[in-house]
Amino acid sequence: MMRTLNHNRLLRVAGLFTWAVIGLPLLMLSLAPADQLAEGGARVVLDSWRSWLAWAVFGTSYAWLTRGLGERRIGLFDRLLVLVLAGSAIAISYYSQSGLGSILLMVVACVLPWLLPLWVGVALLVACEFVIVPVYVRGFDFTLAEAVLQAALYVGFTGFAFVTGLVARQQAQAREEQRRLNAELRATRALLAESVRVNERTRISRELHDLLGHHLTALSLNLEIASHLASGQAQEHVGQAQTLAKLLLSDVREAVSQLRDDDAIDMRATLLPLAENVPSLRIDMQMPQQFLVDDPERAHVLLRCTQEIITNAVRHSGAGLLRLRYVQDAGAIRLDARDDGRGADGARAGNGLTGMRERLAAYGGGLQVETAPGSGFVLRLELPLADDARLRDAAPRTVASPPP
């Protein structure tokens, strides 16, 4: 069972287990002796119920926040719920007059690196620990100095838990980056294999045309001369040889034509690996059923542009879904890319977009970028085909990656 749990799920299970165990001492504190009930009356009972309510809120919030940890986009609601999570831990300490809330704050510290920016998470943890100082003064009869020292000790504990969660997040990001690079490597390898296949077929077709074709043509001419010089039975055999030579020359020309007709690069085999196992991003690709491009250089440009679009969606856009639509229009390949990310006020041309524009401009193409806050990014690129390049059978077919 442990082998099926990655770092993210282990943090979730460990946190929920700690939350459940905290319920045992909370139950013991709720079963107050009769003399305490007589002294405190309804206030003790009310504080007990409030402690249990805060405990339930903490567990519910933690379970919600840690679902799909590291695999989904963190929104504004999640960040607000982090405050509820920390507040419920503090409430448990206040209403139970115990240090149980500080223990739960260590659970919060483990998941904060996944939910908040680094320094915001650290500041929140330190503030929460010192907010509990009055509990140590009233509940444990500590002096103010002792209470501050106790809070400082818990800051150290929560800091250690915070670093543990940060390391787990960095390892998860490293694994995701490795998976993305592996997908790009597979796509590049597929393009290289297609290019090698095309080059080999082109070489074979040239050899057949230049060697066999020329020799068979010379043989046919010599047999034509021999047919005029020979007579009798020899002339009949020369005629048969001449017919076979012409038939063989026709077969060679047909074979050369077929080799040249099939020397296009299959872009489906090249591009589809890019959509596999992309971390926290679902890619929906739509492309022609037979997506064949004759020019290897243009195929390479299309591959690199697609890689850059996917990389930008993962690193900068914060998108959960990326739609890629490949079509042929007036002798050009057109790609429409849309994501559901956070968008921006304007598209600033970084190294990625600049590189895409330069690659496309070298072949007479172009790139348009549209974005707005909350509307994601839309990229439209056009890559003109060479005069002898073709994109065959443009009937659309949708190929979607499995949902996360």
Kindly give, in sequence order, each residue whose CB lies less than 8 Å from that of residue 338, ignoring residues fewer than 6 positions away.
322, 323, 376, 377, 378, 379
pLDDT tens digit sequence for 262-302 = 556 778 878 888 887 776 788 888 888 878 887 778 888 88
Residue reference for tokens 């080059």? 199
Distance separating alpha carbons of residues 278 and 5, to the nearest angstrom: 19
What's residue 58's pLDDT?
94
Q: Please name the helix (run of DSSP H) or strand (run of DSSP E) that holds residue 396, with its range, or none.
A: strand 396-400
Backbone angles phi, psi at 319, to 5 degrees: -85, 155
Rounded alpha-carbon distances, angstroms, from residue 1 to 4, 20, 68, 192: 6, 20, 18, 40
Backbone angles phi, psi at 118, to 5 degrees: -55, -55
Of 274, 374, 390, 367, nearest in space to 324 by CA: 274
Of 400, 389, 187, 226, nearest in space to 305 by CA: 187
Distance separating alpha carbons of residues 233 and 238, to the nearest angstrom: 9
CATH code for the part of the protein at 265-400: 3.30.565.10
Neighbouring C-beta atoms of residue 352, cutoff 10 Å: 16
Rounded alpha-carbon distances, angstroms, from residue 261 to 250, 270, 294: 16, 19, 9
Averages of pLDDT over runs of 10 residues in the chain (404 residues) are 61 88 82 53 74 92 85 81 92 86 90 88 88 82 85 87 86 76 73 68 64 66 70 68 69 60 72 77 85 81 87 79 84 88 72 84 87 83 68 40 38
Q: Please name the helix (run of DSSP H) or strand (run of DSSP E) that holds residue 43, with its range, or none.
A: helix 42-65
Pull the structure tokens for residue 123.
Answer: 């500041």
What's residue 98's pLDDT?
83
Residue reference for tokens 């339930």? 56
Neighbouring C-beta atoms of residue 393, cutoff 10 Å: 12
Distance separating alpha carbons of residues 241 and 219, to the nearest angstrom: 9
Kindly give, in sequence order, each residue whose CB lies less than 8 Å from that of residue 390, ignoring residues fewer than 6 positions away.
264, 292, 293, 294
| Half-sphere exposure for 40 (CA within 13 Å, toward CB) | 14
Residue reference for tokens 């300490």? 93
